Amino acid sequence: MASAVSDRVYRSLLDALADGRYAPGDKLPTQRALASRLGVNMSGIREAVKRLEQLGLIDVRHGDAMRVRDWREGAGLDVVAHFLLSGERPAVADLMEARRLMLAQTARLAAERCTDATVARLRELAGDLAAATETAAAQALDYAFFDELVTASANVVFRLIMNSIRNVYFEHAELFGAIVSDPAGLASHYARTAAALAARDPDGAEAAVAALTGAQERRLAEALA
């Protein structure tokens, strides 16, 4: 019950921050005032406030008011999922651009460090994607394909970023469905990526992934236009 109250308060406050009702530097109402306004107990307020503080969205100082932070300066990737569908949020285009650039560089590393097992798995996934007929299945396969690349890159920072992308991707799966529309039309890009890794060709892998993610980016932009 306490967790449900905390979640409700957290979402309410997060919506207020995302909608721009509070600007960076603004004071939030006191915790007691928030509890009264939202009709909840102080425990739920404290838990919600702690979560917002951990995300880097507010500052909480003993003896002073809670103040809103500029999430662009203080927050991490976790905040993307929460602001994605709100007014004041990182644009979907920004997220896709970052994805394209990161995965292209990941592919370079993967081509240098991958194993034969990685190549075999990528070829298997490419074949499954070419035959996929349902959006949800294609999305899962697409994520698995890039997840395999990230694993092969053996870069722990890319691994952690990919984990954050996964949370956004599947939490808002309906928003990103267009990136795998007509998977058969993207099949050649997946196949070229796998072939470049098989040849241990970093330039070819980077180019293939850039072409693939660029095509996905354009499809999503057209769907959201």
Structural domains in the chain plus CATH codes: 2-76 (1.10.10.10), 92-224 (1.20.120.530)
Q: What is the pLDDT of residue 87?
A: 45
Rounded-to-integer distance, Cα 182 and Cα 130, Å: 9
Q: What is the pLDDT of residue 124?
A: 97
Q: What is the pLDDT of residue 63?
A: 64
| 57-61, 64-68, 74-78: which is most confident | 57-61
In order of 39, 69, 220, the CA distances from 66 in angstroms are: 19, 10, 38
Q: What is the pLDDT of residue 101?
A: 95
pLDDT at 100 over 80: yes
Interior CA angle at 96 toward 211 and 116, to 5°?
50
* Contact criterion met (CB below 8 Å) for 214 and 99: no
Higher per-residue pLDDT: 67 or 72 = 67
Higher per-residue pLDDT: 191 or 22 = 191
Rounded-to-integer distance, Cα 129 and Cα 124, Å: 9
* Contact criterion met (CB below 8 Å) for 86 and 20: no
Q: What is the pLDDT of residue 64?
A: 66
Least trusted range by pLDDT, from 9-23, 134-148, 194-208: 9-23
Average pLDDT, whole number, for the chain? Answer: 88
User: What is the rounded average pLDDT of the residues 110-128?
Assistant: 97
Confidence of residue 88 (pLDDT cuts 50, 70, 90): very low
User: What is the rounded average pLDDT of the residues 140-155?
Assistant: 97
Confidence of residue 84 (pLDDT cuts 50, 70, 90): low
Rounded-to-integer distance, Cα 42 and Cα 165, Å: 33
